[in-house]
Amino acid sequence: VGELLNLTGIRPGQLASHEAQLPFEPIAKLFERASRLTGDELIGFQLAPSRDLIRSAGLLAYVGVSSPSVGGYLRNIARYQRVMGDGTRTEFLETESCGELIWRYNAGPETPLKQYTEFGAIGTVHTLRQLSRTMLRPERACFAHFRSEGQGEISRFLGCDADFGVGENRLKFRRAVIELPLETADDNLLRTLTAICEDILARKPAPASSLIRDVERQVAEQIGRASC
Tens digits of per-residue pLDDT, 122-175?
A: 999 999 999 999 999 999 999 999 999 999 999 999 999 999 998 899 999 999
Q: Sort residue 198 into left (φ over 0), alpha (ψ -120 to 50) or beta.
A: alpha
Q: What is the largest CA-CA distance in the chain?
A: 53
User: For 64-86, how does the pLDDT look when each residue is reduced to its tens digit (9 = 90+)?
Assistant: 999 999 999 999 999 999 998 88
Q: Are 4 and 31 in contact (CB under 8 A)?
A: no
Q: Residue 224: pLDDT above 50?
A: no
Bridge partners of residue 99, in order along the sequence: 94, 173
pTM for the model: 0.85
Let me know the angle formed at the C-alpha of 48 by 21 and 50, rounded to the nearest 5 degrees.
Answer: 110
Q: Are 62 and 54 in contact (CB under 8 A)?
A: yes
